[in-house]
Every structure is written in structure tokens, then in C-alpha cells.
Structure 1
């Protein structure tokens, strides 16, 4: 099953409403769908979702890098997986572009074997609870979104914070006051706080039963992150700080975090995500699998990874829910009542475009 051609298709979808986090505002998804053609009738499907802030990529750079990778791996058998990864590794960075191709490889391999990707990884669970995200917005809008999401069956809310620590504390307190404690809340500062303010916020929200705080300080301030962890009554999760195994080992040396957030687009694909989870497990850290803004192709890949990896105990795989439109016509991830499931009778990712 040799690689014949790789297509990179630019897709744009509007968001249902602007999405605000500490690092900026987005009103649309602009990403790349990968189609990997083989000399059989099997076509592997993948997705590369760029983030200028997190991975340094744009749709244009992804398309250019996919073309370069295509030259390096054209004619290789899909089963020559190690050689393919070795050749992709000669290109520095560009993790989302690499993830898109690797997801398509897994999809093709699953279709050839007649197995879903989750079973290829080693099926550990058949569904996973996911948080549903509320962006940074005024208190009344936050409460309205919380009411709507809880009414739709969400069991975990992920609340974005990081622009105004006083407003952040107020929003979280108002959610608990109005809707109680029969659901989980986790918070994500997206690098928005100073070390001092991060510690202050963690102490002020200690009584609100917060699962964890994600990336409270700048990605390259691991010592600052360690200081927050040392003084926080709430578990600390690293996200933007962890792209690779080397990053994980460094964070471990500094005792910088209790948990890590793994994203396929950030680490370069499914195998690297699985490896990060295994090494974290040996280090005593639990993992969450998260996402960028992604269609159901990328979210399906993340869900398969979560279902097939023991140490992925948490999921934040909701990036498809606030997009207008769906490029997946059949199959793929289903998010219902706060749970992500996949039809495990379908091979590969299970997505038909």
C-alpha cells in the first residue's frame, strides 16, 4: 500500500460566535484537511489545524510543508511507518502539518487492517467525558452559556480565564452560586497571569471545587509554573509548555506541574501523543488530551487516541462544537451528554467526507 499522492485542502468555517481567550480572539476556523492516496483504493484522511501562537503555523505554511513531506515519502509503503516518521523528522517544527499526515497514515492503516485507530493503539475505554468550553466573556454571558451547556448535558465546564483576575474569580464564583456543585469545572488561563496573580487566583477559587488550572503563566517560564504549583491548592496542568518528550522531562525535573495537556497538533501526531502519555505515567503525571479549533476529523483522531491510551484520564475535545458547518458526512466522533464516543465497528478514524 504505497503512498501515491497527498492533498492539502484549505477549509474555512465560521464560529457560532467569537471565541476569546487570554492570547486573542478568533471568529473562524481556518485549517487543512489531508488526503493521503495510496496505490490501492484506500485514502487516508487527516487534519492539520494551525496556531500561529502555539505551533507557529498558518494554513499557508502547512500546505507548503505538506508538499515538502510528500516529496520525501512518495512511493513508500504506509507500513514503512518508521521510515516515514524519520523523513518527516528532517523538517524542523511544523507539528500540526506532521500531525495531519500522521493522522491520515493511521486512518489508512486502520482501513487496510479493518480496525478502528483506538483498537490499533490498544483499546482501553469505549467513551471519554469531555469538557465543554466557555470563552472569556462578561459575567451574564458566562452564566447564560453555562446554563445552556448544562441543559444540553455537559458534565464538565472548562472556563477560560487570564485577562482580568478579579473578573475571572467573579465569573467562577457566580457559576457556582447559581448552578451549584453537581458538575465539574476546570479553568484555563492560556498563559495570561503573572506568577503572583496565578497563585492569588488559585487560592481565591480553592473553595469552588476546581479540578485544575491549566497553563497559568507563560509557556517558557517553567520555573514560574513550578512556583505556582508549589503554592497552589489546585492541581496545575501544563499545556503550551509541553510540546515534546524533552519538554515533559524538563517539566518533571523542575516539578513544574501535576498534569499535562497533550494535543496532536502540538506534539506532531498520534504516536508522539501516546509516547508522552506513557512517559508521563511513569513520572506519576496524569494526562488530558486537548485540541485546537478542529473539525470532527481532528476531534475524531483525538478521541481515538484517548480511547486507546490508558493514561489519558481527561479530555477537552470540543473544538468542533462551536463551528458552523460539518465537513464529515458520516461517522466520526459523537459528542452527547458530555461524552465523546466513536463507532468502533468502523475502520480507521471512521470519518467519511
Structure 2
């Protein structure tokens, strides 16, 4: 089996409401889809959701890198030669993880379809029977976030994650208002997206000690592993690192500094499923549980992450919430309240709506 053609689509996915975190507000979600064809007729789909503040990529640069640098490397390659292909990626260009992830995901989709099994069967089998997702709240006023949280709990969500990272006093109010709105039995996670410094983080942890926060995620700037270690050393609440870990080199530093209790792995940061597997195994060896996070991806990126999360026992939680944020997605995914449903279809297990992808595409190209 050989790869014969790669289509690249630069698209904008419509959001139900603006997505707001500490460093950006998005009115829609810029994404890059790839469609890889083989000489056997099998087609694989992948997705890149770049973030210039996290992955160092823009929507436009990711499209160009896939088109001009990475996709040509795949022609005439066997999709199962995943290690060889990633080595070719690395030799061609440093970084650009979401661009590499798009092609990696499409290759795994092809592998699952060629083997005629759901992708998780190739990634370790079914380690988790059920994947429960949280609902993630964008930054709003404390009262608005509390109202949103209350509504989501009434819809059946048992875990709420809130985005914070603005001024300390308002963030404390956000945490308090949301906890009051959801009651004691619902999990609460807090993500600052690098929005605080060390002293601000310690103050917030101290002043929300009665709010039963499960963990604080990436409170300080990504590279400041030493501050994160100092926070963790005195925090009664678990500390998760996200933006600070993209590679095994990053994770090694976190392990050496004892800087985090948990690590949030994202395919868009890691460069796809293959390098994410290395991160998961490395974290397991160090006794650090993982979460499989999301960059608000469509059904394509979401199901790639979901299959990995289902297959790996050290991935304890996930945030496969992207499809919940779109007015219309490129494929159908079913949620039973907060439980993501898998199909028996091979590969990613979805039927991609190619006509809709064409509809939301702003520019595209073909590599063959």
C-alpha cells in the first residue's frame, strides 16, 4: 500500500459562541483538514488546529508547511511506516507540531481502516470502557460562568473546567461562583492558560481552599518549570502542566524538577498520536497520570484523541469537547450526556462530510 495523493483544506469551523481564554478570543475555529489517499482506495482524514501562543504556528503557516514541506514527503510511502515518516518530518523541519499531527492522524485512520478495526485496537486495546468528558467554560463574568456551569450540570455533566487567567480577584470570584452553582458533588478543574505568576497562583490556591478544586492547570508561563515546582511543593491541590510539555525533552525536565502532579497531552502539541504515545509511556514510568486534552478540534481531531485515551491506561481523564462547541461539525459524534460514544467503524470511526468541508474551506491544494 502506498500514498498517492494528499488534499489540504484550510477551513473555519463555526462556533456556538466565542471561545475565550486568557490570551485569545476566537469567533470561529481556524483548522486545517488533510485527506490522504492510497493506491488501495483507502482514505484517511487528519486535522491540525494550530495555536501561535502554544505551538508557534498560525493557520496560514500550518497550511503552507503541510502543502510545501510535509505532505510531499508522504508520496509513495506506506502509511504503516509511521516511525520512518516521523523521522522524515523531523529532518525536514523543526517544530510545527500541529502540521505534523494532521498527517499523523490521517495515517492512523488509514491503518485502522486497512486492519478493519477501530483505531483504539491498534493503540493498546480498550483500557477504558467509558470516556467521560467535562464541559469547558470560556472566560466570562463570574455570574455568567456560574449560570453556564449550573446549566451544564443540569444537562448531565459531572465535571466542569473553567478558563481563568485574568486579574486575580475576579478569577477567585469565578472559582467561588462556579463551585456554589454546581454544588459539592461535581468535579471542578481550573485552567489559567499561563495567566498568573507564582505569587498570584499561591494566593488563589490559598483563597479558594474551600472550593474543592481538583487541580490547577498551567497557572504560570509555559517555560517556568521552576516556579511550577515551587508551587507544587506547597500546594494542597494538584498541579497540572499543559503548555509546558510538548515533547519528551519537556517532560523529562518536569520529571527532574518534580514540577507537576499531572500532565495534559495534546496531539496538536505533541505532533500526533505516535509522539503522544511516547509521552504517555514516559509519564507512566515516572508515575505521573495524564490527561488527553483538546485544542477545540472537530470530530476528526477529537476522535483521534478519544481513541488514544481509550487505549492507554495512564490517560486518566480527557477533554474531547471540541464537537460540543460547533454549530455544525464535519462528522457526527454522539454523546450520552457526558459520555462519548464510539462506533464499530474502522479507523477513527466516523463518516466525514466532505461536502461540508468544501463549504467551510477558504483555500485548498492537492499534493500528488
Query: Same fold by TM (over 0.5)?
Result: yes
Shift of 1:14: 2.3
Is the 1:127–1:342 Cα contact (8 Å) retained in structure 2? no
Q: Secondary structure at the match of 1:351?
A: coil
CA offsets 1:79-136 (integer angstroms, 9 cap, x no match): 2222211111112111001001000000001001001111111121132111110111
Q: Secondary structure at the match of 1:201?
A: helix
Partner of 2:362: none
CA offsets 1:214-252 (integer angstroms, 9 cap, x no match): 000000111111111112111000000000001000011
Q: Quote the Cα distance in structure 1 between the aligned partners of 2:116 and 2:104.
A: 18
2:314 paired with 1:311? yes
Shift of 1:184: 0.3
Is the 1:163–1:192 Cα contact (8 Å) retained in structure 2? yes
Shift of 1:26: 1.2
Residue correspondence of structure 1 range 91-240 to structure 2 within 5 A: 91-123=93-125, 124-240=127-243
Q: 2:290 aligns with which of 269, 287, 292?
A: 287
Shift of 1:11: 1.6
Q: Quote the Cα distance in structure 1 between the aligned partners of 2:164 and 2:63.
A: 33
Q: Flag the 1:193–1:121 CA change in 2: closer, same or farther, 3 A.
A: same
Normalised TM-score (structure 1): 0.96
Shift of 1:334: 2.7
CA RMSD for the aligned pairs? 1.2
Q: Secondary structure at the match of 1:236?
A: strand
Shift of 1:18: 1.5
Q: Quote the Cα distance in structure 2 between the aligned partners of 1:237 and 1:189.
A: 11
Partner of 2:30: 30
Is the 1:73–1:87 Cα contact (8 Å) retained in structure 2? no
CA offsets 1:26-85 (integer angstroms, 9 cap, x no match): 111010111011011100111111111111112221222212212222101112222211
Q: Quote the Cα distance in structure 1 between the aligned partners of 2:129 and 2:8.
A: 31
Shift of 1:320: 2.2
Partner of 1:350: 349
Partner of 1:48: 48
Partner of 2:78: 77
Q: Quote the Cα distance in structure 1 between the aligned partners of 2:27 and 2:270.
A: 25
Q: Quote the Cα distance in structure 2 between the aligned partners of 1:120 and 1:305.
A: 9
Partner of 1:323: 326
Shift of 1:293: 1.9
Aligned residues: 349
Q: Secondary structure at the match of 2:95?
A: coil
CA offsets 1:295-337 (integer angstroms, 9 cap, x no match): 1111111100100111000111112211221111x5xx43332
Q: Quote the Cα distance in structure 1 between the aligned partners of 2:158 and 2:123.
A: 27
Shift of 1:285: 0.4
Q: Quote the Cα distance in structure 2 between the aligned partners of 1:79 and 1:242.
A: 27
Q: Flag the 1:110–1:141 CA change in 2: closer, same or farther, 3 A.
A: same
Q: Quote the Cα distance in structure 1 between the aligned partners of 2:167 and 2:321.
A: 24
**Which consecutive unaligned segments of at least 5 residues does structure 2 have?**
353-368
Shift of 1:193: 0.4
Normalised TM-score (structure 2): 0.92
Q: Quote the Cα distance in structure 1 between the aligned partners of 2:340 and 2:64.
A: 33
Shift of 1:178: 3.3
Q: Quote the Cα distance in structure 2 between the aligned partners of 1:58 and 1:351.
A: 27
